[in-house]
Structure 1
Amino acid sequence: MHSADQGLKVLYVEDDRLNIVLMEEVFRDATQWELLIAETGAEALQCVEDEAPALLLVDMNLPDMNGLQLLQALREQGQLPPCIALSADALPEQVAAARAAGFADYWLKPIDVPALQAALQQRLSSVEQT
């Protein structure tokens, strides 16, 4: 986990260690943001309650629930920050279902790091202004 004196918290919900390491690299120089990691949906729910992240990056296939179930649980918990789905599943109906459920965006894996950095910068800039 990265720490920052005062930065926006981004929660990455992912169970694949390689993807976690990659995301940590993406955030390494982004000192204005703090990257939090949860490896299960249950951990994510607890982290959202404890840390109030400004943005969630959610793997759609977690060990204990899928991304749609996590989004629903967050909604029921009464805490639903902007969420972006991450998945290797590029089927149009899966993307449409994620967006219909309330995901702000749907990013494909494998992660294109420069595109991810640009999208994060844009997304987090808009979060900072709200």
Structure 2
Amino acid sequence: METPTVQVIAAAPTPPGRLRTLPVLYVEDNEVNVILMQAMAGKRPQVQLLVARSGAEAVAAARQTRPLLVLMDMNLGDCHGTELIGRMRTERPDAGTMYVAVSAEASSEQINLALRHGFDRYLTKPLRLDALLALFDELDQKVLGANPI
């Protein structure tokens, strides 16, 4: 069995005085969506974006990198997001990681299903840049509060 690989997208240079990085795992099997997320995450230099293209890669990446935020597409080639979040939360039940579902399915039924299965939030595609940046900023403030510079 092959070991899953995870693509690490280097964070933009860290501004002077900013010592923290925010490891964010993006679980997505659509290359166009990956490219869009890379461009959006690039607006926040503290974000270290890691990309997993399957559920198996996501589980391996979470073990290795301990992300603070997991953005997860709900319809992956090897599993559904509701299945994957159960596996990931079982692996790291007390990690403090925020899990956010990302999907084009915007019905209240789908959103409620995701939240019942353990997602903290739900973002719909196409992603709004302002909503994503606000999420990164919220996470940054949380980390800053826990680890003042």
Structure 1 gaps of 5+ residues are none
The equivalent of 1:87 in structure 2 is: 103
The equivalent of 1:41 in structure 2 is: 55
For the pair shown, the structure with the greater C-alpha radius of gyration is 2
Q: Distance in 2 between matches of 1:16 and 1:24?
A: 13
Aligned-residue sequence identity (percent) comes to 35
* Aligned-residue RMSD, C-alpha: 1.8
Of 70, 73, 83, the residue aligned with 1:59 is 73
Asked if structure 2 preserves the Cα contact closer than 8 Å seen for 1:54 and 1:127, the reply is no
Change (3 A) 1:87 1:124: farther
Q: TM-score under structure 1 normalisation?
A: 0.90
Instruction: Report the alpha carbon displacement of residue 127 of structure 1 after superposing the two structures with TM.
Output: 4.6
Q: Distance in 1 between matches of 2:58 and 2:36?
A: 19
Runs of 4+ in 1 over 4 A off after TM superposition: none
Letter in 2 for 1:50: Q
Structure 2 gaps of 5+ residues are 1-8, 15-19
Asked if structure 2 preserves the Cα contact closer than 8 Å seen for 1:60 and 1:68, the reply is yes
Letter in 1 for 2:109: E
Q: Which sits farther off after the overlay, 84-93 or 113-122? A: 113-122
Letter in 2 for 1:39: R
Greater share of helix: 1
- Count of equivalent residues: 130
The equivalent of 1:114 in structure 2 is: 130
